[in-house]
């Protein structure tokens, strides 16, 4: 069976969706599937990873025309929404219209994004939720607990400059840690930012993705302030490295991903309170850190679920 995917793998530092695609392609090739990034005469299944033509290897219009003449099944992975992106209100309508017009099976990457689109009228019986999984060869934990009196080591990582990722909160955290080095240290991993934000913290830019886990494993707490995220990979990768997740409410699918492990806040003052609680109560920190051993979700489990969906198309 040949699967045509409308998004190509990008080499180098890139977002979580690209990493999911790399893991999935590798898994499917090992299972004996042929993978193409074009529409070919022998294409049996089309996997829509994105509906924004400028990001894709072939367009929605091309898929529409191809489907008219071929007996092909279409799977759509829904991993985005207009609320998460500035001035992208049109995106939700595009995702819904594509889905209703041509899709045979829908994959949502979180319960939250499924509910989000159902509230907008996209109610499909033939759908499934498959959460993102971290590459466990790169993202894994080891016993790296700080000494009781050491500052907390806090980290986040994003490849997108989208302000909805939570940069306003990160900038306040940066200033707090700079003023209170005995309490916490903040590190940012990702792309260079504009506008003078995050001017104090340690920044790590443009590292190969395979090295990111090495940096995450040296930390204690993973903070995310992302809003309306369909289900980002960043929090999954941090948790896979054994970091305690501190999550802003309203984070969308991110909140689904940390159930049973996460600590939540609404405002920066509440985030600061959580940080101080971990710093001043070592037993609470240790209990939360030890609980991360129970986080076992992986790329292998995720890929198996995609495989089961694809086999339904045979």
- pLDDT tens-digit readout, 172-226: 999 999 999 999 999 999 887 777 788 888 888 877 888 899 999 999 999 999 9
Tokens of 122: 């996209």
How would you write 72-141 as a 3-class SS string?
A: CEEEEEECCCHHHCCCCCHHHHHHHHHHHHHCCEEEECCHHHHHHHHHCCCCCCCEEECCCCCCCCCCCC
Query: Given the structure tokens 């466990």, which residue do they identify?
Result: 136
8 A C-beta contact, residue 19 and residue 233: yes
Q: In the chain, what percentage of residues exceed pLDDT 70?
A: 97
The pLDDT of residue 205: 85
Q: Which residues pair with 205 in a beta bridge?
A: 190
Strands of the 2-5 sheet, one edge to the other: 34-36, 2-5, 43-48, 73-78, 105-108, 127-129
Alpha-carbon span 124 to 22, nearest angstrom: 27
- Residue 261: pLDDT band (50, 70, 90) is very high
Query: Given the structure tokens 């960043």, which residue do they identify?
Result: 234
> φ, ψ for residue 257 (rounded to 5)?
-70, -20
252 DSSP assignment: B
List, by residue range, all CATH 3.40.50.2000 domains of the chain: 2-133+299-312, 152-294
> φ, ψ for residue 134 (rounded to 5)?
-85, 150
Alpha-carbon span 180 to 286, nearest angstrom: 22
The pLDDT of residue 11: 65
More confident position, 252 or 161: 252
In the CATH hierarchy, which fold is given to the domain comprising 2-133+299-312? Rossmann fold (3.40.50)
Q: Which residues pair with 106 in a beta bridge?
A: 76, 127
Q: How far is CA 294 from CA 41, 109, 299, in A?
A: 46, 21, 16
Q: Is the pLDDT of residue 14 over 70?
A: no
Q: Which stretch of 140-149, 177-186, 212-221, 264-273 has the lowest confidence by average pLDDT?
A: 140-149
Q: Single out the residue of 60, 36, 32, 34 nearest to residue 48, CA to CA.
A: 60
8 A C-beta contact, residue 20 and residue 233: yes
CB atoms inside a 10 Å sphere around CB 89? 11
The pLDDT of residue 47: 98
The pLDDT of residue 12: 57
3-state secondary structure of 179: helix
Q: In the chain, what percentage of residues exceed pLDDT 90?
A: 76
**Whole-number mean pLDDT of the chain?**
92
8 A C-beta contact, residue 106 and residue 99: yes
Q: How far is CA 73 from CA 14, 58, 180, 309, in A?
A: 29, 16, 56, 11
List Cβ neighbours of 253 (8 Å cut-off, separation of 6 or more): 109, 110, 111, 112, 113, 131, 229, 230, 231, 232
User: For 152-294, which CATH class?
Assistant: alpha beta
The pLDDT of residue 124: 85
Residue-wise pLDDT for 61-95, tens only, equals 999 999 998 999 999 999 999 988 776 779 999 99
Q: Single out the residue of 80, 243, 96 nearest to residue 164, CA to CA.
A: 80
């Amino acid at each position: 069976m040949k699967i045509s995917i409308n998004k190509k793998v990008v080499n180098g530092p890139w977002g979580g969706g690209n990493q999911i695609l790399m893991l999935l392609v590798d898994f499917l090739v090992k299972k004996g599937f042929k993978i193409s990034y074009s529409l070919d005469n022998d294409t049996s299944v089309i996997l829509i990873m994105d509906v924004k033509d400028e990001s894709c290897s072939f367009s929605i219009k091309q898929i529409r025309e191809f489907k008219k003449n071929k007996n092909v099944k279409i799977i759509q992975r829904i991993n985005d929404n207009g609320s998460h992106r500035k001035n992208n209100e049109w995106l939700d309508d595009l995702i819904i219209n594509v889905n209703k017009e041509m899709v045979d099976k829908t994959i949502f990457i979180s319960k939250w994004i499924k509910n989000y689109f159902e509230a907008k009228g996209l109610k499909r019986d033939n759908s499934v939720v498959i959460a993102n999984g971290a590459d466990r060869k790169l993202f894994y934990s080891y016993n790296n607990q700080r000494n009781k009196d050491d500052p907390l080591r806090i980290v986040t990582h994003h490849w997108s400059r989208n302000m909805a990722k939570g940069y306003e909160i990160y900038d306040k955290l940066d200033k707090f840690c700079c003023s209170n080095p005995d309490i916490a240290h903040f590190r940012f991993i990702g792309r260079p930012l504009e506008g003078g934000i995050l001017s104090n913290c340690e920044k790590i830019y443009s590292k190969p993705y395979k090295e990111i886990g090495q940096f995450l494993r040296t930390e204690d707490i993973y903070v995310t302030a992302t809003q309306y995220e369909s289900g980002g990979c960043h929090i999954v990768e941090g948790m896979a490295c054994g970091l305690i997740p501190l999550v802003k409410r309203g984070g969308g699918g991110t909140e689904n991903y940390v159930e049973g492990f996460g600590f939540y806040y609404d405002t920066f003052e509440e985030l600061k309170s959580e940080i101080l609680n971990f710093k001043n109560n070592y037993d609470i920190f240790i209990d939360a850190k030890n609980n991360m051993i129970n986080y076992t979700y992986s790329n292998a489990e995720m890929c198996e679920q995609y495989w089961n969906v694809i086999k339904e198309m045979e």
